[in-house]
Structure 1
Amino acid sequence: MWPLYLVALVIILPTFLAYRWKNPTCNGRLPPGSMGLPLVGETLQFFSPNTSDDISAFLKHRIKRYGSIFKTNLVGRPVVVSTDPDLNYFIFQQEGQVFQSWYPDTFTEIFGRQNVGSLHGFMHKYLKNMVLSLFGPESLKKMISEVEHAACTYLQHWSCQDTVELKEATATMIFDFTAKKLISYDSKNSSENLRENFVAFIQGLISFPLDLPGTAYHKCLQGRKKAMKMLKKMLEERKANPRKEHSDFFDYVVEEVKKEGTILTEAIALDLMFVLLFASFETTSLAITYAFKVLSHNPLVLKQLQEEHESILKRRKDPNSGVTWKEYKSMTYTFQVNTEYITSFLVYYSMFFSSLFPYVYNLIFQVHDDLQFINETVRLANIAPGIFRKALREINFKGYTIPAGWGVMVCPPAVHLSPAKYQDPLSFNPSRWEGIELNGATRQFMAFGGGMRFCVGADFSKVQMAVFIHCLVTKYRWNPIKGGNIIRTPGLQFPDGFHVQMIKNDQSNQESECTITT
């Protein structure tokens, strides 16, 4: 028979711990909300599938019950969730002073302990400047013809097939292009399929973080190991056989690693390349697929896009010349339709894109008012369901206290789909962006993050998307075949893909080109 004090301990201790879990200590008044079950918190509810374009049931129920700011617990960490535009803006503006980029430990395991989202201060700025050497505006001006060539090549290839699954096809197109720029990777001539590792990575990134054989999260970690092994081997080969001239971004990184007194370690360099490869293609391919989906149901929007791009062709002195930077900047309606989603960034992969994106560095890149189609696509797609920060000290805001060390999750979808901010928010209406100038993030639009970590790679995504749309609507049409349904868990997915038949406008020319290709 157990002594009385042991019986009391077995009963009282769990009760006390459960009470402390549900009622965390605070010097002031915590936001309302529930901490969920011990250890698990409300993680399972957060990951519950959502099949609509509206905000998730997780957010909707809690906003209705607790208001725009509430507390919860995700993956074992206390978190304040903000759907309040003023608090969101304050969080972004106080980066490095009151808040800093933060991810749950499980994400650190996935992206690496030296990933750019986990670095701060001088090191973050240093890496930002490195990435801008490839993705900055001046480089993009030179790169735009290559982007157009890749888009035209893949569209032609797709038109020779009976059906094309857009998410996979566009992901392959963008990954091949970006991997070539980053590491001179050529999928056709390589003995290893690098993107396969990222496919496994993506599937686990938006899964429950349970590292057991057979789980998506376990496969995700295995995919990371394989990809990192390839990158490390490549790094060693480049160091042993340096090139006289830089042929890709990796050459530049290797040169920095080899400099005497450098602050760039091999671990940081490899994590940087890994994140750049992942973030460069996943969100943009989702955005393009989503754009196909909305255009298939909005023929008037498609007609306006076609008219804008046909007018660009008519203004050219040489009809066979490619897209110029000036023409890209003139795509007023295109940008109204597409911009927001493109990245939005990271992660669960969406959730954290705003800090992990290859473009997510300290620079605020100008988002011009000529991005209406892109803006509207991004607003509705909401690829980034949440952006994470950590409170460096205790903060008081609108009567609530956020304790030091707590996580904070900014929720762009709750702002982008708010009827108080946007009329008929679930409708696809690029014209709502007409005449609106966006310089960085605003209280109503934060698809590319905000503040010091505003997505500096946003324009790279926009160039890819806008040029692809130009090639698409001037030369092709398509018929949806099957799929196209979406699910958010919480990141955006197309569980059944989106299969279409791509048809070149010049049918006779298409048949001859397909014959030659075959």
Structure 2
Amino acid sequence: MFPQLEIAMGLAALIVLAVFHWKLKWRNRSNIGKLPPGSMGLPFIGETIQFFIPSKSRDMPPFMKKRVTKYGTLFKTSLAGRPVVVSTDPEFNKFVLLQEGKSVETWYLDSFSKLVGHDTPDLEVKTNATGYIHKHLRHLILNHMGSESLKGELLRQIQAMTETTLHAWSAQEFVDVKHDCALMIFKFTSKLLLGYDAEKSGKNITEDFHILMDGLMSLPINIPGTAFHKSLKSQEKLLNMIRGKIAERMTAPAEASKGDFLDHIIGDMKTQSFLSTEFITYIVMGLLLAGFEAIPTTVVMALILLSENPKVLQELIKENQEALHNRRISGAEGITWEEYKSMPYTLHVVNESLRLASNIPGVMRRAIKDIEWNGYVIPKSWTIVISQVGLHLNPEVYEDPVAFNPSRWEQMDRASVVGRYYIPFGGGGRPCAGAEFTRAFCAVFLQVFVTKYRWTKVKGGEIIRTPFLKIGGGFDIKVSKIQE
């Protein structure tokens, strides 16, 4: 019995030492300065378990609300083994977002880094690049998905895809909006960016995107059965699909050029030394992943909220029917940029849906040197999380913040809110290049839907907040075409 007793005592001693070391490690030290208030939780685990606890409330997740109430707009914690400072302070957020390449760099938690390729040294350097590389990539994306493209054929292409999709939905007994909308977005963006025809491929690759999304905020434990392990398998399938398309283009004759994003970025490899096939692979996957999650989440949130608010739905129908009537009088063949921009209530609905969706944990940066702020010090190498949900559901800014009220955008001082308390697309020197594309896609989808179809809820639609916003049980609807 004595050997077992000695082993047990030894383990107990190691645990006590680990806890003691943990406390010493995160205690305010004179050579660092005063850390923001908060708790680092348990040794090694930190507060990761509390962070992942789901909530069925549409309000701020309990993890955030409890700590903002107790510690204020800036607090420390530990997530997935890393020290983190979480902020809902608009002034600190503005400072951080403008310090790219000076005091902070783009950063992700370990699982996210591995799955999007950020942990690969060469790719990490390029992803964190400011100045020329970032400007070049942003210009390239905007050239194919920005306002100028939308003013051309892109809006009508979105309209055509929406009409085809909704017609197919109306022939089905019911549809899972999030799942089927994600499929629609993937078909559209994969063809737009790299000429990938999802229907002709015969592969259900959208399921791999769903699996990849499930693993982005999981613990980075790579053993069979874990969400992270499954995500790595799906990641490799997606990367191989993209690598295959890149290989095809690089060996294709010049006259076969499609003039799309992939052709453009491959062509730039001749003059831009920072571009490599692996870098392009991850850039394309990142673009596909962003659209695959952001747009379907916003659309399904809008439809759930519209279903619950018939007065808002009627106002939306009225504005879009008037726009459709004016288009028919003018003889325009499809929705135009001017029409899209002349529907303020529709854009308010999209803005309000984006505000309430807040479907990512936050905008992440890493301190590359000690940062002093209001008497606190954020140490070098700490992760900084700018919480979107903490800003978007702030009751001091938004009256009754969980209410779906598109009209609030008519009365709000947008100049004092947008960029401070409303950052669905990030901000600072790295705002999302796909912001206008996302808004336009949602607005066009809603116009076609409310003017030509009606829907009834079949089941689901429960909004659950975790690090990501999820729809419990999906959101199944029956779609019916309006008889003209």
Question: C-alpha displacement at 1:189, in angstroms?
Answer: 1.1
Residues 396 and 232 (structure 1), Cα distance of their counterparts in 2 relative to 1, 3 Å cut: same
Correspondence for 1:20 among 18, 24, 28: 24
- Number of the residue aligned with 1:276: 287
Equivalent AA in structure 1 for residue 481 of structure 2:
K
- Number of the residue aligned with 2:41: 36
- Number of the residue aligned with 2:342: 330
Which is further off, 429-438 or 226-235?
429-438
- Number of the residue aligned with 2:143: 133
Equivalent AA in structure 2 for residue 216 of structure 1:
A
Which is further off, 235-244 or 282-291?
235-244
Kept in 2, the 8 Å contact 1:95–1:452? The answer is yes
Correspondence for 1:311 among 315, 322, 334: 322
2:379 equivalent to 1:403:
yes
Equivalent AA in structure 1 for residue 336 of structure 2:
T
2:415 equivalent to 1:430:
no
- Number of the residue aligned with 2:72: 67
| Percent of pairs with identical residues | 41
Mapped to 2, the partners of 1:132 and 1:478 lie a distance apart of 34
Equivalent AA in structure 1 for residue 94 of structure 2:
Y
Equivalent AA in structure 1 for residue 452 of structure 2:
K
Mapped to 2, the partners of 1:260 and 1:87 lie a distance apart of 39
- Number of the residue aligned with 2:171: 160
Residues 493 and 279 (structure 1), Cα distance of their counterparts in 2 relative to 1, 3 Å cut: same
Correspondence for 2:108 among 90, 103, 108: 103
Kept in 2, the 8 Å contact 1:22–1:36? The answer is no
Question: C-alpha displacement at 1:320, in angstroms?
Answer: 6.9
Kept in 1, the 8 Å contact 2:182–2:296? The answer is yes
- Number of the residue aligned with 2:462: 485
Correspondence for 2:477 among 486, 495, 500: 500
Residues 259-298 of structure 1: matches in 2 within 5 Å?
Answer: 259=270, 262-298=273-309
Question: C-alpha displacement at 1:300, in angstroms?
Answer: 0.5
Kept in 1, the 8 Å contact 2:77–2:83? The answer is yes
Residues 88-99 of structure 1: matches in 2 within 5 Å?
Answer: 88-99=93-104
Q: Could you give the per-residue CA deviations for residues 406-427 of structure 1, whole angstroms, max 9, x where no partner exists?
A: 1111111112111111111111
Residues 66 and 319 (structure 1), Cα distance of their counterparts in 2 relative to 1, 3 Å cut: same
Kept in 2, the 8 Å contact 1:102–1:117? The answer is no
Equivalent AA in structure 2 for residue 183 of structure 1:
L
What RMSD, in angstroms, separates the aligned Cα atoms of the two structures?
2.3
- Number of the residue aligned with 1:456: 433
Mapped to 1, the partners of 2:12 and 2:146 lie a distance apart of 65
Mapped to 1, the partners of 2:11 and 2:271 lie a distance apart of 64
Question: C-alpha displacement at 1:209, in angstroms?
Answer: 2.7
Kept in 2, the 8 Å contact 1:313–1:319? The answer is no
- Number of the residue aligned with 1:170: 181
Question: C-alpha displacement at 1:436, in angstroms?
Answer: 4.7
Residues 458 and 261 (structure 1), Cα distance of their counterparts in 2 relative to 1, 3 Å cut: closer
Residues 24 and 194 (structure 1), Cα distance of their counterparts in 2 relative to 1, 3 Å cut: farther
Kept in 2, the 8 Å contact 1:441–1:448? The answer is no
Residues 81-92 of structure 1: matches in 2 within 5 Å?
Answer: 81-92=86-97
Mapped to 1, the partners of 2:418 and 2:349 lie a distance apart of 17
Q: Could you give the per-residue CA deviations for residues 455-513 of structure 1, whole angstroms, max 9, x where no partner exists?
A: 1211001111101111011111111010001222210111311001101111xx7xxxx
Residues 431 and 478 (structure 1), Cα distance of their counterparts in 2 relative to 1, 3 Å cut: same
Residues 118 and 50 (structure 1), Cα distance of their counterparts in 2 relative to 1, 3 Å cut: farther
Question: C-alpha displacement at 1:237, in angstroms?
Answer: 2.0
Kept in 1, the 8 Å contact 2:109–2:217? The answer is no
Mapped to 1, the partners of 2:48 and 2:448 lie a distance apart of 42
Aligned-partner SS, 1:451: coil
Question: C-alpha displacement at 1:393, in angstroms?
Answer: 2.3
Which is further off, 292-301 or 234-243?
234-243
- Number of the residue aligned with 2:265: 253
Kept in 2, the 8 Å contact 1:70–1:80? The answer is yes
Question: C-alpha displacement at 1:163, in angstroms?
Answer: 0.7
Equivalent AA in structure 1 for residue 65 of structure 2:
K
Residues 322 and 390 (structure 1), Cα distance of their counterparts in 2 relative to 1, 3 Å cut: same
Q: TM-score, normalised by structure 2?
A: 0.91
Mapped to 2, the partners of 1:22 and 1:261 lie a distance apart of 44
- Number of the residue aligned with 1:380: 356
- Number of the residue aligned with 1:465: 442
Aligned-partner SS, 2:455: strand
Kept in 2, the 8 Å contact 1:476–1:503? The answer is yes
Mapped to 2, the partners of 1:396 and 1:298 lie a distance apart of 46
Correspondence for 2:59 among 54, 62, 82: 54
Question: C-alpha displacement at 1:98, in angstroms?
Answer: 2.3
Kept in 2, the 8 Å contact 1:441–1:451? The answer is no
Residues 393 and 502 (structure 1), Cα distance of their counterparts in 2 relative to 1, 3 Å cut: same
Aligned-partner SS, 1:169: helix
Mapped to 2, the partners of 1:8 and 1:78 lie a distance apart of 25
Equivalent AA in structure 2 for residue 476 of structure 1:
Y
Kept in 2, the 8 Å contact 1:52–1:487? The answer is yes
2:453 equivalent to 1:476:
yes
Kept in 1, the 8 Å contact 2:94–2:420? The answer is yes
Residues 11 and 491 (structure 1), Cα distance of their counterparts in 2 relative to 1, 3 Å cut: closer
Question: C-alpha displacement at 1:265, in angstroms?
Answer: 1.0
Aligned length: 467
Equivalent AA in structure 2 for residue 498 of structure 1:
F
- Number of the residue aligned with 1:367: none
Which is further off, 154-163 or 24-33?
24-33
Equivalent AA in structure 2 for residue 490 of structure 1:
P
Kept in 1, the 8 Å contact 2:366–2:383? The answer is yes
- Number of the residue aligned with 1:355: none
Query: 5+ unaligned residues in a row in structure 1: which ranges?
Result: 339-374, 510-518
Aligned-partner SS, 2:462: coil
Mapped to 1, the partners of 2:313 and 2:449 lie a distance apart of 11
Query: After TM superposition, which residue ranges in structure 1, 4 or more long, deviate above 6 angstroms?
Result: 6-9
Mapped to 2, the partners of 1:380 and 1:139 lie a distance apart of 28
